[in-house]
Structure 1
Amino acid sequence: MRLHHVLLSTIAIASLTACNHADSDDDAPRAQALSLDSVSKNIPISVDTVHATAAEQYISLTGRVTYDEDLISRVVPFAGGIAVDVRADIGDQVRKGQSLAVVQSAEVMDVSSQAAAARSNVAVAEKSLHAAEILHKSGLMTDRDYEAAVREVERTRSELQRTQDVSGLLGSSSSSNYTVKSPRTGTIVQRAITQGSHFRADDDSPLFTVADLSRVWVLANVYESDINAVREGDSVAIQVIAYPDTTFHGIINRIYSVLDPGNRTMKIKIQVSNPRLLLKPEMFANVVIRRKEHRYLPSVKTTSLIFHNNSHWVLVVGANDKISPRKVHPYREVGDRTYIMDGLAEGEHVVASNQLLLFNAIVQ
């Protein structure tokens, strides 16, 4: 209250020494212009310089973090069996090739038996070929019989290679067990296997799901009114509740050109680098899209604006540091600044603190 009386006293003194009116509009507040120097002696005043920059569109969206489907692997069983040792759980960090589980399988035993038989067949075929070479060189074996011996060696070697490849895929270390290994470095995000569980080879359900979370997606919802402002390749800023002081940056790399009939929104996919693994799947995210327009407009701090009689005003510091109200027409608020369509020019100065108190004192 004391400050208000001081302002009124300042205005009264200024009215005796100044004769310039603030604005010629019919709805403009009528008051004598004040001196910045005289006012700042009584209350703290800060002044903001008007800058003209490319206008921005500012769109705020909601979304959620999910896996990058290009960096996810679903581990399915190569053969049916029983899990005898489960070595990884949800949330574990694993390396490519790391053992996730050991499975006991009759099918693996069959493969091991086939591999042993194939090795024996190769040994017999190679021994027969060695004898055939001696006989063929001596003229005691026809070319046809010799070629048959060569083909038999090739066939048995091919069968041995096949069984070895199957054994390699199964990762078998004994006659009846095989090892389930991680196909990539990442995080276990799903596990559908427990010790003692049974499963078949034709079961499509993954035993484990491994995701590389060093890059994730954010799926955000865009309302119909904002669809025309979204472009593939746009940069976005992302914040999550878990890290309120951290801003993540991503790129829109896909726009789904269909609307959800339930909430009338269109989804966009944002690719986000996540090297510290701070972003977790299913986190809620706030997404901000900023797009520069091809027009340059003056802007001021949003807090500098004063709403009076259904209009927006600012206190302009003019020649000789005189303060006077001026009507402006805001274009768009972006962050902590507002673009002005008309009423201000680049390089002008406006009061940026205690302006409402000063304005109210002026118009009374």
Structure 2
Amino acid sequence: MDARKPVEPEADSARAYFEETRERPRRSMLRLGILLSIVVAVVAAVAIWPQPVRDAAEKAVAIAQGFMPGKHEAEETPGDKPETKTANAGERVFRPTKEQRTALEIKPVAPGTFRPEYAAEGRIAINEDDNVPVTSPYSGRVTKVLARAGDDVKAGQVLLTIEASDMVQAQNDYQGALNGLNKAQALYKLEQNIASRQQELFQARATSLKDYEQAQNDIIAAQSDLKTAEASLQAVRNKLRLLGKTDDEITAFEKAGRMSAETEIRAPIAGTIVQRKVGVGQYISSSGDPLFVIGDLSTVWLIANVRESEVPKVRIGQEIDARIVGFPRTIFRAKISYVATSLDAATRRLGVRAELDNPDRSLKPEMFANFTITTGGDRFSPSIPSAAVVYEGEKAHVWVSRPDGAIEARDVKLGLTNGDNVQVVDGLKNGEEVVTRGAIFIDRAASGSNAS
């Protein structure tokens, strides 16, 4: 037989049929592999990718499943193609295939609790009603600093010592006042003796009335000088006390005639050192800034900065919840006790304040906090997941599942939010079923289909 002889037509048709039959499983496996790759990509996107990338990945799955037009759209059979039609004027109805419907998540509308509230940012601050700035009543050079920020101190505890220039002058003044007192005491005692002698002579008619009266006047003058000297000494003693000297040190100075030029500054109250602004060798003055700030951290202030648009809602007594980065599982709750009278010129925010108990002192001043301020009571309304809502400008709609298997678009009016749920003010009733996953893809598929 000639090898160049043409193949019979029947044999050629059989071969073509065989080749086509053999290629069908390969094409099916290829499509299945592509679909599995897309699903894996979507799972990874949902886990780690930002929302825009998730949308793109889910869009790819939607194309693969037939929610949106894709390159395989031409391969669909007429019976499997989803249908979108307008039942009435302005009404959109989508009829998904069985495969598409299994990819959707449909949940009933359930009653939910919503509270009118708004958010603000702010910080933790020391309770200024329970903190005291420590200043120096005199000028001098710091020789010792005995307390650090964060230390707990007792009332009267020494915080620092300084070599005060006022101390030398105070010592001289005290010495002069002490000498003046000793002199006044001696003079008064002398005048008492003279007056007593003059009285004896006058009674014996050995002296004149004039001399007797003069002696009485002299003792009165000496007594007045003594009181003045005592007052002067007390004034200088008080000055030494202000300079940090104790009564024991002052008494020792009276005996020894010497006193150290160093003086101590003590804590006026018990509490925690929340600020320290002084160091060894620093020269301080009586008119300078506070050296320490001592506060009682058993209570702290919550300072919230409210946006200008929310200012009309602010009231004293409103409940405020604070969430702090360092305590992610704890909500700190208090009530607004103070509202500022004006906005901050730089930030255009209104400061509000609440006092919070801090018994274990775990909250530290200047911690950042996010606040939620409640403006009213609980409201009970139909609730749906926010993922079910499709926005078109200022309008919103959801896809509602009907008993006949179709899904229709319905406009809704939304209200408050509570976590991932949103309040439905109008448009839905409890028990109606809405698409909570895949709504955006139904919306795009419906928009891309031809209405009949």
Match of 1:189 among 260, 263, 275: 275
Q: Does 1:231 align with 2:344?
A: no
**Paired residues of 1:304 and 1:314 also in contact (CA < 8 A):** no
Contact 1:109-1:176 at 8 Å conserved across structures: yes
Residues 107, 340 of structure 1: alpha-carbon distance in 2 compared, 3 angstrom cutoff: same
Aligned length: 329
Alpha-carbon shift at residue 292 of structure 1 (Å):
0.3
- CA RMSD of superposed structures (Å): 4.5
**How far, CA to CA, are the matches of 2:273 and 2:432 in structure 1?**
54
Which is bigger in relative contact order (C-alpha 8 A, separation at least 6)?
Answer: 1
Quick one: which of 157, 173, 178 aligns to 2:263?
A: 178
Distance (whole Å) between structure 2 residues aligned to residue 63 and residue 171 of structure 1:
40
- Maintained 8 Å contact 1:63/1:286: yes
Amino acid at match of 2:273: T
Question: In structure 1, how many angstroms separate the alpha carbons of the residues matched to 2:235 and 2:401?
Answer: 86
Provide closer, same or farther for how the CA distance between residues 336 and 95 of structure 1 changes in structure 2, counting only shifts above 3 A: farther
Decide whether the 8 Å contact of 2:384 with 2:424 is kept in 1.
no
Superposition pairs of residues 13-32 of structure 1, within 5 angstroms: 27=91, 29=93
Q: In the alignment, what sits opposite 2:219?
A: 146
Structure 2: distance between partners of 1:159 and 1:307? 87
Aligned position for 1:198: 283
2 CA distance for matches of 1:359 and 1:194? Answer: 64
Of 50, 62, 83, the residue aligned with 2:111 is 50
Is the radius of gyration larger for structure 1 or structure 2? 2
The counterpart of 2:173, out of the listed 76, 96, 114, is: 114
Q: Structure 1 pair 44/66, CA: closer, same or farther in 2 (3 Å)?
A: same
1:16 counterpart residue number: none
* 1:270 matched to 2:359: no
| Unpaired runs of at least 5, structure 2 | 1-34, 36-86, 201-211, 250-258, 447-452
Distance in structure 2 (CA, Å) of the matches to 1:52 and 1:242: 28
Matching residue of 1:249? 333
Aligned pair 1:289/2:373, yes or no? yes
- Assess, with a 3 A threshold, how the Cα gap between structure 1 residues 299 and 56 changes in structure 2: closer, same or farther: farther
Q: Give CA-to-partner distance per residue, 1:27-86, whole Å, 9 cap, x none.
A: 365789xxxxxx9xxx99987752577x5132x122233344434433222222222211
Contact 1:47 1:351 in 2 (8 A): yes
1:169 and 2:169 equivalent?
A: no
Distance in 1 (alpha carbons) for counterparts of 2:401 and 2:187: 106
Change (3 A) 1:255 1:196: closer
1:15 is aligned to none
C-alpha contact (below 8 Å) 1:317/1:349 kept by paired residues: no
Relative distance call for 1:312 and 1:188 in structure 2 (3 A) is: closer
- Aligned residues of 2:91 and 2:409 also touching (Cα < 8 A): no
User: Using the alignment, how far apart are the partners of 1:225 and 1:219 within structure 2?
Assistant: 18
> Is 1:331 the equivalent of 2:415?
yes
Q: Give the distance between the partners of 1:164 and 1:106, measured in 2 at CA.
A: 17
Q: Is the 8 A contact 2:92 2:408 kept in 1?
A: no
More strand by share: 1
Q: 2:99 aligned with 1:99, yes or no?
A: no
When residues 297 and 149 of structure 1 are mapped into structure 2, their CA distance, relative to the original with a 3 A threshold, is: same
